[in-house]
Amino acid sequence: MRQVWITKAGPPEVLKVREAPDPEPGPGEVRIRVRAAGINFADLMARVGLYPDAPPIPCVVGYEVSGTVDAVGSAKDGEPQTHKEGDRVFGMPRFGGYTDTLVLNARQVFKMPTAMTFEEAAALPVVYLTAYHMMMFTGRMRRRSSVLIHSAAGGVGLAAIQLAKMHECTIFGIASASKHAFLTEQGVAHCIDNDSDFVAIVREKTGGRGVDLVLDPVGGKSFSQGYELLAPAGRLVAFGLSAAASGKTRSLLHAGLQLLKVPSYKPTKLMDDNKAVSGVNMGHLFGELDMLGEEFTDLVKLYEEGKIRPHVDKSFSFDEAPLAHHYLHDRKAKGKVLLIP
């Protein structure tokens, strides 16, 4: 098999393709011949050495793949296998997705809808599960409420926009100016430039009331700003700390300064303010397969009903993995970026 390895912490050029023997599935496992693998911002953080959950470098990262089952392990604990050779599937590894051959627990593998492409399938699991969990479970998004989405043109951002549109929400989206026309087409009512005073703009647009839900993967100072923008009974959901990344290599000083800007919230203040703050780290929920399986089933149904549709911006070959990471670092992507074995 061929895999893309992070050979050492550093810029995208540290990504190298290596070969290894094909793995064999054990009891309760299936082997997938990967057709596409999704890239997430956590992968970039891991590569620069700022993602504490990642395996020790050198390592293979990647949370999501699509492909075809080509080998099935024996039944485990008397449970019959739910997959067979030839099945077109989503695969959800916690790490190790940058590969052309992957062995997974069968419970981390889901059948693809007939009409779905392999590219769409690799673009759905992490970003849509993150958005769905934040908005429907943690953030309790209400119909016709208002939502502020940071990094709105990214994978999670576009998934969140589609879910918010389904609930007739007023959407505020923060992204670079070059992406505003695209976001307007997606249903964002108020596009806000990354470099602008988004607090002042949101206050003006809402008549000072603020918004009902804030989705923030940036962190640092923006957590405090988002909290202050919450309307009565509003919810802030934190799902990243991209502000800690200063560029394509690691700066511990910059990361430390951003961490110092992360606020603390006392229960008494939350109570007095009638606001809620929560967090989502999808990588820490991979053990909750019953919950994730139910949410994933809901998402597949929404896809089949035509209510959600993953947007693949660009695909790169394994040999072009450094270019793919550069593309994301440079904020060129609108939606999902994939690796194709």
Q: How many beta carbons lie within 10 A of that of residue 167, not counting itself?
A: 14
Q: Which structure tokens are listed for 297?
A: 């089933």
Q: How many beta carbons lie within 10 A of that of residue 56, not counting itself?
A: 5
Name the DSSP letter for residue 63: S
pTM of this prediction? 0.94
- Three-state DSSP class for 341? coil
Q: Specify the length of the chain in residues.
A: 341
Greatest C-alpha distance within the chain: 62
Q: Which structure tokens are listed for 153?
A: 């043109």
Backbone angles phi, psi at 186, to 5 degrees: -80, -15
CA dist 125 and 129 (Å) reads: 6
The answer to whether residues 146 and 107 belong to one domain is no
C-alpha 334, offset from chain centre: 13
Number of structural domains the chain divides into:
2
**Structural domain contains residue 136:** yes
Please say whether the beta carbons of 68 and 87 come within 8 A.
Answer: yes
pLDDT confidence of residue 262? 86
**Structural domain contains residue 253:** yes
Please say whether the beta carbons of 322 and 335 come within 8 A.
Answer: no
CA dist 133 and 128 (Å) reads: 8
The answer to whether residues 118 and 139 belong to one domain is no
The answer to whether residues 186 and 275 belong to one domain is yes
pLDDT per residue, tens digit, the chain (341 aa), is 999 999 999 999 999 999 999 999 999 999 999 999 999 999 999 999 999 999 999 999 999 999 999 999 988 876 777 899 999 999 999 999 999 999 999 999 999 999 999 999 999 999 999 999 999 999 889 999 999 999 999 999 999 999 999 999 999 999 999 999 999 999 999 999 999 999 999 999 999 999 999 999 999 999 999 999 999 999 999 999 888 887 888 888 888 888 888 898 899 999 999 999 999 999 899 889 889 899 999 999 999 999 999 999 999 999 999 999 999 999 999 999 999 99
The answer to whether residues 108 and 141 belong to one domain is no
The answer to whether residues 242 and 329 belong to one domain is no
**Structural domain contains residue 222:** yes
**Structural domain contains residue 100:** yes
The answer to whether residues 72 and 145 belong to one domain is no
Q: Which structure tokens are listed for 198?
A: 């988004």
Name the DSSP letter for residue 133: I
The answer to whether residues 112 and 142 belong to one domain is no
Say how many Å lie between the first and final Cα of the chain, rounded: 10
The answer to whether residues 11 and 32 belong to one domain is yes
308 CB contacts (<8 Å, ≥6 apart)?
Answer: 128, 159, 162, 163, 166, 299, 302
- Three-state DSSP class for 134? helix
Please say whether the beta carbons of 69 and 30 come within 8 A.
Answer: yes
- Domain holding 214, by residue range, is 127-282
One-letter amino acid identity for 152?
A: A
The answer to whether residues 175 and 275 belong to one domain is yes
Of 77, 73, 63, 57, give the one whose Cα is nearest residue 23. 73
The answer to whether residues 35 and 161 belong to one domain is no
Name the DSSP letter for residue 142: P
**Structural domain contains residue 323:** yes
Please say whether the beta carbons of 147 and 170 come within 8 A.
Answer: yes
**Structural domain contains residue 143:** yes
The answer to whether residues 168 and 271 belong to one domain is yes
122 CB contacts (<8 Å, ≥6 apart)?
Answer: 35, 36, 37, 38, 64, 65, 66, 90, 336, 338
CA dist 329 and 245 (Å) reads: 10
One-letter amino acid identity for 119?
A: E
CATH number at residue 132: 3.90.180.10
**Structural domain contains residue 64:** yes
**Structural domain contains residue 180:** yes
The answer to whether residues 100 and 47 belong to one domain is yes
